[in-house]
Amino acid sequence: MSESDSSNHLHDNESTSEKSRGQSHKHEELFNYRLCLHSISHKFFHSHFYKHSHVHPHEHSHGHSHTHGRVDSSIIATQKGLWAVKWSFIGLMVTAVLQIFIVIISGSVALLADTIHNFGDASTAIPLAIAFTLARRQPSKRFSYGYGRVEDLAGLIIVFLILFSAAVAGYESVTRFLNPLPVEHLQAVALAAIMGCIGNEVVAQFRMKVGKEIGSAALIADGYHARVDGFTSLAVLIGVVGAWLGYPILDPLIGMLITIAILKIVLDSSKLVFTRLLDGVEPEVLDQVKAIAEGVEGVCEVTDLRVRWIGHRLHAEINASVDPSLSVEEGHEIANVVREKLLENFSYLSGTTIHVDPVTASGECCHCGPESPEKRRGRQKRVLNVYPG
């Protein structure tokens, strides 16, 4: 090969090498460009999609499992509460309107007070309707647990209204005892009193039944409030009977006894409502949650447990110890099983936070041998009702 041919061949090789480097550089730029596009689209997808939807993945590598419960059951319970508030309001308004016509005809002061009580009882549907409506809103950054606590505040308002009814009933009874007034149009007043008594008791039973079904302390308290007004109507009826028999003194005496009964209702209602406001929970609920969680295969022991009501929904926080040889993924799967078992067994449960610890970290001794009868019973499906009867 001549020297010129060798030079040309070297030049061709250098040219080919430069072209290869150029093509490689172009390919690298194209790859970086595509990678950049993928990164941008990935960030946009996650920021846009998770910002405008309520799908939040909760897979954690540190042994936690979170859930906000079964949305369907929570929505259904809230809708049922609104439904009960609406129809009980209509029932009380119909009763009060019928009574007001008889008041106009008879001019009975006692019946007028009873009718005013019925209108007042119907008005308690307003704070309850507001509470159930707010409960349907999604949690926000400021109210990360949602707006269920408004329902408990509505229950507190209702308790004070019941207490006010007791004060009014006591005042009227003492006034009638000191200054007896004749009762006219006995038949009309008796009819209106019977209507008020029956109407209020039907509404009371309806509210308390639905309140127990959905776990609403406020709705149960409002049922007691309707029963209080039923007692007031009963006092009017007894007063009419006493006047007809010639014993008008029966009216204030029975009124005083009914005032005492109303105060007993205030005590029962306030216990339930204030317990909820202070994050109290029925002890049997804690026992059932612990038994179900420890009944799941792989859970050695529940080392810490906290449960509280927020409105008519339960929220649970659980620390469960497991075998330290398990992987993070296996521990997370156990937490998921615990969550599902709790949701199956508790109709009121809408939120759980489950933290899985190795037994060495919790300091507890674990015996993960054959299942005990208590654990097997804990795994059996049963829906707990904290308001039996």
Q: Is residue 97 in some structural domain?
A: yes
For 264-309, what is each residue's pLDDT tens digit? 888 988 998 999 899 998 889 899 999 999 999 999 999 999 999 9
Q: Are residues 285 and 353 in the same domain?
A: yes
Residues 222, 309 within the same domain: no
Q: Are 145 and 129 in contact (CB under 8 A)?
A: no
Q: Does residue 333 register a pLDDT over 80?
A: yes
More confidently predicted of 76 and 337: 337
**Stated pTM of the model:** 0.66
Asked if 259 and 290 sit in the same domain, the reply is no
Instruction: Indicate the DSSP class of residue 248.
Output: T
Both 247 and 134 in one domain: the answer is: yes
Domain span at residue 316 reads 281-379
Tens of pLDDT along 153-200? 999 999 998 898 888 888 888 888 888 777 677 888 888 889 888 999
Structural domain total, the chain: 2
Each residue's pLDDT tens digit, 192-233: 889 888 999 999 999 999 999 888 889 999 999 888 888 888
pLDDT digits (tens, 9 = 90+) for 232-248: 888 888 888 888 888 88
Does residue 211 share a domain with residue 95? yes
Q: Where are the alpha helices (DSSP H) in the chain?
A: 3-51, 71-106, 109-123, 125-135, 149-178, 186-214, 217-245, 250-277, 283-294, 328-345, 359-362, 373-379
- Mean pLDDT computed over every residue of the chain: 75
The secondary structure of residue 312, as a DSSP letter, is: T
Residue 298 lies in a domain: yes
CATH code where residue 135 lies: 1.20.1510.10
For residue 337, the one-letter residue type is V
Measured in Å, how far apart are the chain's first and last C-alpha atoms? 109
Residues 308 and 262 in one domain: no
Residues 268 and 288 grouped into a single domain? no
Domain containing residue 323: CATH number:
3.30.70.1350
The DSSP symbol for 21 reads: H
Q: Residue 11 — very low, low, confident or very high, per pLDDT cuts 50/70/90?
A: very low
Decide which of 247, 277, 307 is a domain's last residue: 277
The predicted pLDDT at position 38 comes to: 39
| Residue 4 included in any domain | no
The answer to whether residues 253 and 206 belong to one domain is yes
| Residue at a domain's end among 277, 294, 310 | 277
Alpha carbons 192 and 237: distance in angstroms, whole number? 9
Helix (H, G, I), strand (E, B) or coil at 168: helix
The DSSP result for 65-94, as a single string, is EEE---HHHHHHHHHHHHHHHHHHHHHHHH
